[in-house]
Amino acid sequence: MEYVNLGRSGLKVSRLCLGTMNFGPYTTEADSFKIMNRALELGINFFDTANVYGGIENPSGLGDTEKIIGNWLTEDKSRRDKIVLATKVYGRMGTAPNQSKLSAYHIRKACEDSLKRMKTDHIDLYQMHHIDRETPWEEIFQAMEQLVREGKITYLGSSNFAAWNIAEAQMTAKQRNFLGLMSEQSIYSLRNRNIELEVIPACKHFGLGLIPWSPLGGGILCGVLEKSKEGRRTREPLQKSVEKLRPQLEAYEKLCKEINLAPADVALAWVLSNRVVTAPIIGPRTVEQLEQNVKSLDIKLDTETLKMLDEIWPGPGNQAPEAYAW
């Protein structure tokens, strides 16, 4: 396993990040334990979750994924110091008016609740799951700085931020002599390359590690035309996407056959080929899927293959404003 610095920090993380969104809704606790155990054996030390996981489709399950991680950490206390544990704050955790977003009130309570569910005394990377346009940065950073002083969080990250949100956050943090953001977690795959316009250049400029989520396009890049319908592939939005993107998918899967590589491996290898990327998030439902994902680390796509992938899944062509103005 290769390890890289998370952005401009001295923190070393594995080149793949274990996503846990399936833990609970689609993967039992026992199988989740097996996946986390195998991830450690394979050298993956970067684990990502969120306080709302487990309840995205069923509100009664809010926090269940963090609880599964907590139970796993309790089973063998030596595991905690072997992983970089990341979770998120923002999502609605109840019906009361202050049970969501990024007020200092909610940040404090959400952090304490995540610590209890995961049965740990600190979070290595605490990520804002979305931008809160109603709360000033001074309030957000005051709350985060307090959590750092108390030893409850170590690094701060963002997720789903626009480039100007990142710039505003970093300028405010600099004024407060605070480290600010160390990472940005964005949707990024061959299927969705929008962040190449501004978010990736912003991450590069400010020294943020990029943690792509859904690098397999929500399952669309996993050989979906040939695989049987199971798990999350049965969702109606995915089925509609398949029909909408069928010509591209047919060309993509044909190319993967020609180069004798699994579509999912090609998709991950493509994301990893971007130098700004720290670690794409993989979300296996089984140990077998995890082991397959790890194979992508050994794949180096040649220039001709990258060119063909650009033709099938074109991006903006450049960063802004060159992509549309020059």
Task: Read off the CATH number of the domain in which 120 is found.
Answer: 3.20.20.100
| Inside any domain, residue 286 | yes
Looking at residue 233, what is its pLDDT?
53
| Inside any domain, residue 290 | yes
Looking at residue 128, what is its pLDDT?
98
Q: Which residues contact 125 (CB under 8 A, 6 or more apart)?
A: 6, 84, 85, 86, 87, 153, 154, 155, 156, 157, 182, 183
Looking at residue 238, what is its pLDDT?
79
Residue of 140, 133, 155, 131 whose CA lies nearest to 105: 140
Counting beta carbons within 10 angstroms of the beta carbon of residue 240, is it exposed (0 to 12), middle (13 to 18) or buried (19 or more)? Answer: exposed
Looking at residue 157, what is its pLDDT?
98
Sign of CA dihedral 89, 94, 98, 101: positive
| Inside any domain, residue 177 | yes
Looking at residue 241, what is its pLDDT?
87
| Inside any domain, residue 238 | no
Q: Which residues contact 106 (CB under 8 A, 6 or more apart)?
A: 89, 98, 99, 100
| Inside any domain, residue 251 | no
Domain range for 116 is 3-219+262-301
CA distance 156 to 180: 6
53 is catalytic: yes
CA distance 264 to 189: 11
Please pick, among 26, 53, 105, 324, the residue that the annotation labels catalytic: 53
| Inside any domain, residue 287 | yes
What are the residue ranges in the chain where pLDDT is below 50?
A: 228
Looking at residue 264, what is its pLDDT?
96
Looking at residue 19, what is its pLDDT?
98
| Inside any domain, residue 240 | no
8 Å CB contact between 193 and 238: no
**Cross-strand bridge partners of residue 14:** 3
Q: Please give the distance of CA 51 from its chain centroid, rounded to a whole number.
A: 14
Using H for helix, E for strand and C for coil, what is the string for 224-287? CCCCCCCHHHHCHHHHHHHHHCHHHHHHHHHHHHHCCCCHHHHHHHHHHCCCCECCCEECCCCH
pTM: 0.95
8 Å CB contact between 189 and 212: yes
| Inside any domain, residue 249 | no
Q: Into how many domains does the chain fold?
A: 1
Looking at residue 226, what is its pLDDT?
81
pLDDT, one tens digit per residue, over 189-212 is: 999 999 999 999 999 999 999 999
Looking at residue 57, what is its pLDDT?
83
